[in-house]
Amino acid sequence: MVDTIRVEKGVTASAPPPPRKRRWRREWLPYILLIPAVLLELLIHIIPMLAGVAISFLKLTELYLSNWRAAPFAGASNYAVAVNFNSAIGQALLHSFTVTIVYTAIVLAVSWTFGMAAAVFTQRAFRGRGVIRTIFLVPYALPVFASVITWNFMLQRDTGMVNQLLLDLHLVHSRAFWLIGQNSFYSLVVVAIWRSWPFAFLILTAGMQSIPTDLYEAAALDGSGALGQVRHVTLPLLRPVNRVLLLVLFLWTFNDFSVPFTLFGSAPPSQADIISIHIYENSFVSWNFGTGSAMSVLLLLFLLLVTVIYLAAGRRGERHA
Amino acid sequence: MRPTKLSTLALAAALAAVPLAACGSSSGTSSAAHPTLTYWATNQGTSLQNDRQVLSPQIAKFTKQTGIKVNFEVIPWTTVLNQITAATVSGKGPDVLNIGNTWSPSLQATGALVQFTPSVMSQIGGSSRFLAGSLSATGAPGKPPTAVPLYSLAYGLYYNKAMFAAAGISSPPTTWAELITDGKKLTTSSHWGLSIEGGSVAENIHMAFELSQQQGGQFFDAAGKPTFDTPQNVAAVKQMMDFIQTDKITNPSDAQYSKGTEALVDYATGKTAMVIWQAASGSLKQLGMNAANIGVAPVPLPSPMPSGGKTVTSMVAGINMAVFKNTKNMSAALKFVKFMTSTPEQESLNGTYGSLPTVSAAYSDPVFHTSAVTTFRSILTSSAAPMPPVAQESAFETSVGTAIIHLYASAATGKAVTNSMIAQALSQAQQQLGG
């Protein structure tokens, strides 16, 4: 939208100056049109977020649930509890944070690699390409609950399809637990990758549409093979797309609530204790919503910090390029 | 320009970071002539659908009698406490709701429920109609109750008579040592000795409480301060773990059972010979179990009793009915409570669910003269203890119940659960309560 306005300005610069009323309308119209969006943004994002920040400074326990405005001021004590890594609460938060970082790193790396490979594979037209692309997108198109609850059924120990298949193929001799113990982490990673790689595929496929085919032809003439073309043409030209894709995938994976909650319920195994559920569970376990909010605010600050550093690094990289 | 766009996008994504539990609730509409009430029922039958089938005709009867419509919703146990909490915070909830009776002191402390003062109590027919034992679990002592008892329940040991006979066992176990010996005889290639609902917070905490009482332990001291990691409580939890890891009379898969019905289904379908469960004759009938095979006995006791141990075989279980303070239809809501606790409704509902009536008049119905009901009634009157009546009760249930879920998971996946692991888990649960 910003682009269009600038172009219009460029065109009208040489024309006679418009009447004052029209100029006023042109200058203010965009802002007026923005008002509903800004109001909704305030209502849906900013105000609840500020309320969350405010709650993090309150001692909001069961005694004040029905009248939470009367909850006493707690200062920074909720934060002190959350970051006291010698206490059970702080230790559990740190453990959950570490699990989430490892989980996010694996899901991000594998989803992107799968997405990229599939996008390159379907870049050139061939018979059945549309069908394959559609199949690839299915996990992303399915509702989270419906698909993840199916995984939950498949991963059951006694009645699940996964164990049955492994037994039938004689790959294992006894039924393993997939939803508790160490395996629960791998189950979560697999389900999360299954859900998020099609998104990487979709965005990368869209990004590749704008790469002119003559660049590949030129690269081929220069002696580049298929891998060389990906390395010298596709990846550099996808750079802006990748920058946003990785950031969005990171934020989504790190914050994901629906997948682990549907897979494990409200008491996830400690090996797969993802931070969003950990915070939720903490608020509802102790009925001390102040601590839960303080943890949420810390998480928000961490994600903002990562985002700012990532964008700054990306910008510097762009300047050097 | 691109960085600005990117920053905006990233900021928007980051803002969505704070996890928020979206909780919807509805409230009854107010119309003087024909108000519509909203009622949250809990899952008492074999499924939510089963509950709807049981409640619909009764509610239709109420509407016919009074002209008051009732929109009801059956809420699964996994989410009911969170939904009530959300309704309490937002002030927007149902007019009438069911609560687990053990949560009464916690929910009383929130101030979100109507107090049943003597004048309110007289509007629903007076407190003398109710059984004293059931009425004792409706709030903290010395304060006006914020709920009235709807269904009374107690834990018993359900055993399969046919399987016992086939294994040459003539009577149900009365001590834990006997239960383990019997359980080993009953664990064969086709079925297990005892099933447990290892992934359920509620089942875990109830059993831990009962076994702790038998060991002479307590989870809160007289001043109301948490005392989770005492040796008695550790011994109680260890006993639960040993069913899987040492005695091997329980299928390790039971550690995953969390729906609140799976262990009972295993018992009803012959996959296990015993289950420790709240009065469930209604559900067992629904599940198609042959009534001739159903046996009920009190939960076993240790022998010899540990010093200070109490002969408790059940917690005082049950469901209470409460009125949300923000209701706009107070008089209609109280009429509905009066209807649900009336003698004919108590006979009909408890008869269907297999639970015990909370009003004494209902016991004249022959439905409640069966041996199972007599057993449960005697457990409730002679060997049942109420859960700790402290405001932190529901937090205690969730934190300790969840800790036991994780311990069961360790035991099931082959990681031996030791006393020190249990003590550490209980101590962490205690810290979550700020104790």
**CATH architecture assignment, domain B35-152+316-385:** 3-Layer(aba) Sandwich (3.40)
Q: Which of A7, A62, A302 to mutate to test the interface with B (most CBs of B within 10 A)?
A: A62
Which of A275, A249, A3 lies closest to A105, judged by CA?
Answer: A249
Q: Residues 167-226, chain A: which have Cβ within 8 Å of B?
A: 175, 177, 179-182
Pairwise CA distance, residues B216 & B310, whole Å: 6
Q: Residues 1-60, chain B: which have Cβ within 8 Å of A?
A: 1-3, 6-7, 9-21
Pairwise CA distance, residues B32 & B11, whole Å: 49
For residue A319, what pLDDT band results from cuts at 50, 70 and 90? low
Q: Which residues of A touch B109 (CB under 8 A)?
A: 62-63
Quote the percentage of chain B above a pLDDT of 70.
Answer: 92
For all residues of chain B together, what is the average pLDDT?
89
Which tokens sit at A249? 């995938």
- State residue B98's pLDDT score: 96
Q: Provide mean pLDDT across the span A282-286.
A: 72
Q: Provide mean pLDDT across the span B170-175.
A: 97
- State residue A199's pLDDT score: 96
Q: Provide mean pLDDT across the span A91-97.
A: 92
Which tokens sit at A64? 């004040």
Q: Provide mean pLDDT across the span A2-8.
A: 43
Q: Residues 49-88, chain B: which have Cβ within 8 Å of A?
A: 78, 81-82, 85, 88
- State residue B32's pLDDT score: 55
Count of domains for chain A: 1
- State residue B18's pLDDT score: 40
Which of A54, A49, A55 lies closest to A290, judged by CA?
Answer: A55
Q: Which residues of A touch B435 (CB under 8 A)?
A: none
ipTM: 0.80
Say yes or no to pLDDT of B4 above 70: no
Question: What pLDDT, in 10s, does the model give residues A31-82?
Answer: 899 999 999 999 999 999 998 899 899 988 777 877 777 888 888 888 998 8
Say yes or no to pLDDT of B20 above 60: no
Which member of B17, B398, B431 has the closest CB to residue A251?
B17
User: Nearest 10 degrees: CA dihedral of B91, B92, B95, B97?
Assistant: -80
Q: Provide mean pLDDT across the span A278-305.
A: 86
Q: How many CB atoms lie within 10 A of CB B322?
A: 29
- State residue A9's pLDDT score: 45
Is the preceding omega at residue B344 within 30 degrees of 0, hence cis? Answer: no
Q: Provide mean pLDDT across the span A12-17.
A: 54
The DSSP H or E segment spanning A227 is helix A226-229
For residue B167, what pLDDT band results from cuts at 50, 70 and 90? very high
Which of B66, B18, B65, B10 lies closest to B331, judged by CA?
Answer: B66
Pairwise CA distance, residues A151 & A262, whole Å: 9
Q: Residues 364-383, chain B: which have Cβ within 8 Å of A?
A: none
Q: Which residue has the higher pLDDT, B389 or B248?
A: B248
SS3 B407: helix
Which tokens sit at B225? 């301060």
B317-323 β-sheet, strand order: B69-75, B36-42, B96-100, B317-323, B148-153
Pairwise CA distance, residues A299 & A100, whole Å: 11
Residue B412 forms contact with A (CB below 8 Å): yes
Inter-chain contact A257–B256, Cβ cutoff 8 Å? no
- State residue A15's pLDDT score: 57
Residue A241's CATH number? 1.10.3720.10
As a CATH number, domain B155-315+389-432 is 3.40.190.10
Per DSSP, B55 falls in state H
Q: Provide mean pLDDT across the span B33-44.
A: 90
For residues A160 and A178, the answer to whether their CB atoms sit within 8 Å is: yes
Which tokens sit at B348? 């009909």
- State residue B17's pLDDT score: 39
Q: Which of B4, B9, B15, B421 to mutate to test the interface with A (most CBs of A within 10 A)?
A: B15
A285 to chain B, closest Cα gap in Å: 5
Q: Which residues of B touch A276 (CB under 8 A)?
A: 19
Which member of B12, B253, B406 has the closest CB to residue A157?
B253
What is the chain B residue with the closest CA to A305? B14
Strand partners, B157: B276, B297
pTM for the model: 0.83
Pairwise CA distance, residues A213 & A234, whole Å: 10
Q: Provide mean pLDDT across the span B73-92.
A: 86
Strands B36-42 and B96-100, how do they pair?
parallel
What is the chain B residue with the closest CA to A44? B16
Q: By CB neighbour count within 10 A (0-12 exposed, 13-18 middle, 19+ buried), where does B289 fall? A: buried
Q: Provide mean pLDDT across the span B140-158.
A: 93
What is the chain A residue with the closest CA to B397? A285
Question: What pLDDT, in 10s, does the model give residues B114-134?
Answer: 999 999 999 999 999 998 878
Residue A121 forms contact with B (CB below 8 Å): no
Strands B272-278 and B155-160, how do they pair?
antiparallel
- State residue A68's pLDDT score: 75
Question: What pLDDT, in 10s, does the model give residues B192-231?
Answer: 999 999 999 999 999 999 999 999 999 999 888 999 999 9
SS3 B324: strand
Q: Which of A63, A87, A203, A287 to mutate to test the interface with B (most CBs of B within 10 A)?
A: A287
Please indicate whether the domains covering B35-152+316-385 and B155-315+389-432 agree at the CATH topology level.
yes
User: What count of CB pairs under 8 Å joins A to B?
Assistant: 157
Q: Provide mean pLDDT across the span B50-75.
A: 95
**Residue-number span of the structural domain to which A112 is assigned:** 87-287
Which of A30, A104, A72, A89 lies closest to A302, judged by CA?
Answer: A104
Q: Provide mean pLDDT across the span A7-23.
A: 58
Question: What pLDDT, in 10s, does the model give residues B273-306?
Answer: 999 999 888 889 889 999 999 999 999 999 999 9
Which of B313, B350, B329, B379 lies closest to B54, judged by CA?
Answer: B350
- State residue A288's pLDDT score: 77
For residues B43 and B51, the answer to whether their CB atoms sit within 8 Å is: yes
B253 to chain A, closest Cα gap in Å: 6
For residues A251 and B14, the answer to whether their CB atoms sit within 8 Å is: yes
For residues A143 and A262, the answer to whether their CB atoms sit within 8 Å is: no
Q: Which residue has the higher pLDDT, A287 or A297?
A: A297
For residue B19, what pLDDT band results from cuts at 50, 70 and 90? very low
Strand partners, B192: B272
Per DSSP, B193 falls in state E
Say yes or no to pLDDT of B187 above 90: yes
Inter-chain contact A244–B251, Cβ cutoff 8 Å? no
Q: Residues 219-258, chain A: which have Cβ within 8 Å of B?
A: 240, 243-244, 247-248, 251-252, 254-255, 257
User: What DSSP letter does each residue of B174-204 carry, written as one string?
Assistant: SBHHHHHHHHHHH--SS-EEEE--TT-HHHH
Pairwise CA distance, residues B282 & B370, whole Å: 13
Q: Which residue has the tokens 């016919």?
A: B64
Q: Which residues of B touch A269 (CB under 8 A)?
A: 406, 409
SS3 B264: helix
Pairwise CA distance, residues A97 & A102, whole Å: 9
Quote the percentage of chain A above a pLDDT of 90.
Answer: 56
Q: Which residue has the higher pLDDT, A289 or B183?
A: B183
* Residue A152 φ/ψ, nearest 5 degrees: -55, -45
Question: What pLDDT, in 10s, does the model give residues A122-174?
Answer: 988 899 999 999 999 999 999 999 999 999 999 999 889 999 999 999 998 88
B307 to chain A, closest Cα gap in Å: 32
Strands B314-315 and B272-278, how do they pair?
unpaired
Q: Is residue A247 part of a domain?
A: yes
Q: Provide mean pLDDT across the span B27-47.
A: 77
Question: What pLDDT, in 10s, does the model give residues B303-341?
Answer: 999 999 999 999 999 999 999 999 999 999 999 999 999
Question: What pLDDT, in 10s, does the model give residues A222-278?
Answer: 888 888 888 888 999 999 999 999 999 999 999 999 999 999 987 889 999 999 999
Which of A241, A139, A121 lies closest to A198, judged by CA?
Answer: A139
Question: What is the residue extent of each domain of chain B?
Answer: 35-152+316-385, 155-315+389-432
- State residue B423's pLDDT score: 96
Quote the percentage of chain A above a pLDDT of 70.
Answer: 92
- State residue A18's pLDDT score: 63
Which tokens sit at A288? 């001390």
Q: By CB neighbour count within 10 A (0-12 exposed, 13-18 middle, 19+ buried), where does A144 fall? A: middle
For residue A286, what pLDDT band results from cuts at 50, 70 and 90? low
Pairwise CA distance, residues B378 & A244, whole Å: 67
Q: Which residue has the higher pLDDT, A62 or B363?
A: B363
Q: Residues 256-315, chain A: which have Cβ within 8 Å of B?
A: 257, 265-267, 269-270, 276, 279-282, 284-288, 296-297, 299-300, 303-304, 307, 310-311, 314-315
- State residue A321's pLDDT score: 56
Pairwise CA distance, residues A92 & A111, whole Å: 28
For residues A258 and A144, the answer to whether their CB atoms sit within 8 Å is: yes
What are the b/e assignments for A184-200, b being 16+ CB within 10 Å? bbebbbbbbbbbbbbbb
What is the chain A residue with the closest CA to B81? A284
Is the preceding omega at residue B304 within 30 degrees of 0, hence cis? Answer: yes
